[in-house]
Structures are given as structure tokens and as C-alpha cells.
């Protein structure tokens, strides 16, 4: 196998459900780099909530906010934002329904409500700090991605009301909100173009709904054993569970290590 560009999701792929890196993963990724492969993180997280992963894996290339911000070896090559007018409408629509929003800026994530059970329930699963509250943060700051806190039935209302936005569920009570057309796959395409590479040069590993386009786009798409069923159907193959050496086993099967 020639040198490849490897794209790794974080939650449920590099991190297990306790938000720990399973034994052998750091060493496997280091070995892949030594073997000449480029390693890139591809996540729905912001760069600042993924920084501990970059440090532990010694990586400075990423596709963050589900494709909105792309960096290669320290150089930002793309930075997309959500239109402020659309955010205003979204905020008003959510407020009428008493459903909170979190705005994900470049350096911090900010809630428009001080307290809400759904924010606590979902954000706490990421093992990150609870966002501070500021009602109009989005009016004066770039927002790359937003989080809306609602159930699946309410998500359908948002999708009908905002056809130019994309809603991707990542938790029982929360969805990522992005401009239509944005995805990890789009971010990967921008990075591959920057490097004069093709999808066939890329291998991606993921487990969630926000990984669907990514696994379809790259030459080889690997779904973790703990993946949602929709992703397993799109994958080149399904490896073992994240907690059962799934990532390392997949890398061995692909002769990356």
C-alpha cells in the first residue's frame, strides 16, 4: 500500500465511551506516521475541544466542526462560518420553542441560556467544560457551527423551517447545525485538493451519523464496531468495537502498521 492520508474521527473512534484512548492506539498512529502516512483528525468537535487529542497524538492537521475549519500542518486552509442572518432566525425560532443553542466560535463555545438540562445531558458526555452564557455572542463573533438542543421530532420542524441549514444528530437531545453542503467529506475534499491528492489516497475511520459522507467519499471507509447501523452500511468494512482494539485491528488489516 502506498502512502495514504488517514482521517480519524475522535468520539467513538479514537476515544472510547469513557473518553479515554484505548491501549495501543497512540502507538499505532505513531507507527502509521513512521510508515509514511499522513494523519489527520476529522471531527465534529472544535479545535479547542480536540486540542488534547492533537497533543497526545502529536498531530497538527485537522478537519474540525464537521468540515468548517481545515488545517494542514499548522496552516489553516479553510475557515467557514454560518451566516449571521440565518443564526438570528435560528435563534428566534429556537427561543419561541424554549430550546437552547450553543454557538461554536473559533476559541470558545457559548450558550444563549445560562442553564438547561439538555445542554448538561449532552455536553457532559464529551467530558468538556460547560459553555458560558452570552445571549448575543453570534452577533459579534464568527460561528463555525451551532448546537441545537431538541428531540428528533423537533429536529424535523427545524429542517422544514431552515432548508439552507443542515442538522446532524449526535446525541438524544442535540444536533450539530451547519450550512447546507458542509460535511467532513467536504473538508476532506478541500484538504486533498490542497495536497493534489484524490479520494483514493484517503482512508477514513468513524462511527457516527456525521461520518456518513466521509466514509462514502474516501477510497476506503472503516466503520467501528460500535457505529450506527447507517454507517456500517456505507463502510468498506466494519472493524471491532472501539473498546475491543477496533482501531488498531483495522489499521493492521489495512497494512498501515
Regions of the chain with pLDDT less than 70: 1
Upper half-sphere CA count for residue 11 (Cβ side, 13 Å): 20
Active-site residue, from 9, 11, 176, 211: 9
Q: Where are the alpha helices (DSSP H) in the chain?
A: 25-34, 47-57, 84-96, 117-123, 137-140, 152-161, 184-194, 212-217, 229-234, 246-253
- 3 state SS of 69: strand
The bridge status of strand 174-179 relative to strand 165-171 is antiparallel
The bridge status of strand 62-64 relative to strand 174-179 is unpaired
CATH superfamily of domain region 5-79+182-253: HAD superfamily/HAD-like (3.40.50.1000)
Q: What is the predicted pLDDT for the residue at 170?
A: 86
Q: Which residues, in sequence order, are bridge partners of residue 8?
A: 41, 205
- 3 state SS of 121: helix
Q: What is the predicted pLDDT for the residue at 4?
A: 97
Looking at the chain, the domain(s) classified CATH 3.30.1240.10 span: 84-179
Q: How far apart are CA 52 and CA 58, in angstroms?
A: 10
Q: What is the predicted pLDDT for the residue at 19?
A: 93
What pLDDT digit, counting tens, does each position of 174-188 carry?
Answer: 999 999 999 999 999
Q: What is the predicted pLDDT for the residue at 1?
A: 60
What nine digits make up the cell of 29? 498512529
What pLDDT digit, counting tens, does each position of 29-45 carry?
Answer: 999 999 999 999 999 99
Is residue 158 within 8 A of residue 149, CB to CB? The reply is no
Q: How far apart are CA 5 and CA 240, in angstroms?
A: 21
Looking at the chain, the domain(s) classified CATH 3.40.50.1000 span: 5-79+182-253
What nine digits make up the cell of 216? 462514502
- 3 state SS of 222: strand
Given CATH 2.60.40.10, say whether it is the number of domain 84-179: no
| 34 phi/psi in degrees, rounded to 5 | -60, -30
9 as an active site residue: the answer is yes
Q: What is the predicted pLDDT for the residue at 113?
A: 82
| 164 phi/psi in degrees, rounded to 5 | -95, 5
Is residue 66 within 8 A of residue 210, CB to CB? The reply is yes
Amino acid at each position: 500500500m502506498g502512502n495514504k492520508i488517514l482521517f480519524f474521527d475522535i468520539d467513538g473512534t479514537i476515544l472510547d465511551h469513557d473518553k479515554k484512548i484505548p491501549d495501543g492506539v497512540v502507538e499505532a498512529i505513531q507507527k502509521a506516521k513512521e510508515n509514511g502516512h499522513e494523519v489527520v483528525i476529522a471531527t465534529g468537535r472544535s479545535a479547542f475541544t480536540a486540542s488534547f487529542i492533537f497533543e497526545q497524538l502529536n498531530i497538527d492537521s485537522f478537519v474540525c466542526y464537521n468540515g468548517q475549519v481545515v488545517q494542514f500542518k499548522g496552516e489553516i486552509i479553510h475557515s467557514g462560518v454560518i451566516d449571521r442572518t440565518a443564526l438570528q432566525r435560528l435563534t428566534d425560532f429556537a427561543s419561541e420553542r424554549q430550546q437552547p443553542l450553543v454557538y461554536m466560535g473559533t476559541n470558545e463555545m457559548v450558550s444563549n441560556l445560562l442553564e438547561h438540562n439538555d445542554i448538561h445531558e449532552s455536553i457532559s458526555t464529551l467530558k468538556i467544560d460547560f459553555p458560558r452564557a452570552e445571549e448575543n455572542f453570534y452577533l459579534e463573533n464568527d460561528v463555525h457551527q451551532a448546537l441545537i438542543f431538541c428531540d428528533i421530532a423537533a429536529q424535523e420542524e427545524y429542517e422544514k423551517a431552515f432548508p439552507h441549514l443542515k442538522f446532524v444528530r449526535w446525541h438524544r437531545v442535540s444536533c450539530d447545525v451547519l450550512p447546507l453542503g458542509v460535511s467532513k467529506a467536504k473538508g476532506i475534499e478541500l484538504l486533498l485538493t490542497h495536497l493534489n491528492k484524490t479520494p483514493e489516497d484517503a482512508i477514513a475511520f468513524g462511527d457516527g451519523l456525521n461520518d456518513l459522507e466521509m466514509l462514502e467519499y474516501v477510497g476506503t471507509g472503516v466503520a467501528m464496531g460500535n457505529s450506527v447501523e447507517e454507517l456500517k452500511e456505507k463502510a468498506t468494512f466494519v472493524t471491532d468495537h472501539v473498546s475491543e482494539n477496533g482501531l488498531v485491528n483495522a489499521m493492521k488489516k489495512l497494512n498501515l502498521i
